[in-house]
Amino acid sequence: MADFTHFNEHGRVRMVDISDKNESVRKAIARSSVTMNKMVYENIVGQKNKKGDVLAVAQVAGIMGAKQTASLIPMCHPIPISSVDLSFTWVELDAYDVYQLVIEAEVKTVSATGVEMEALTAVATAALTVYDMCKSIDKGMTIGPTFLQEKSGGESGDYRRNNS
């Protein structure tokens, strides 16, 4: 079991010890999306949703999700988050009357561990919030894919997803 970082010498799960790691500036960018029909799209952009401004609520939810990551993911360390920034971009897909909301989160910290999970939790929480606020219009919305786009800092170095 010694090759697995989240298991102790008895094969039991543990949180990795980061006390000997150096703090450094770390950043992670994650993406997700919600694919929806034209009626949901028009409801969001026209700000006609009965529950309020969908993107504003999703943005706050994403920030809150990033801040709660250690409470949701068992082996994540609670870390000081320096910033969380979510952005939304609309894409009209080739299919007739199908729209995709692309959600991107950039999370930064100065810590001994990275913020990949916080960025992923931010976009997932934002996507789930969009779904929740719009499900009365169409329950057929699709969430995802959700993925890490890039990260920088830390011992493992930089990573950038190859989108080809």
Supply the residues annotated as catalytic. 132
79 DSSP assignment: -
- Here the contacts of 9-16 (C-beta below 8 Å, separation 24 or greater) are 13/74, 13/75, 15/75, 15/77, 16/75, 16/77
The Cα 134–Cα 138 span in angstroms is 7
- Give me 142's structure tokens: 């699709």
Torsion sign, CA atoms 31, 36, 38, 44 = negative
The Cα 152–Cα 154 span in angstroms is 7
Strand partners, 104: 31, 87
Q: Are 54 and 45 in contact (CB under 8 A)?
A: no
The Cα 67–Cα 11 span in angstroms is 30
3-class secondary structure, 84: strand
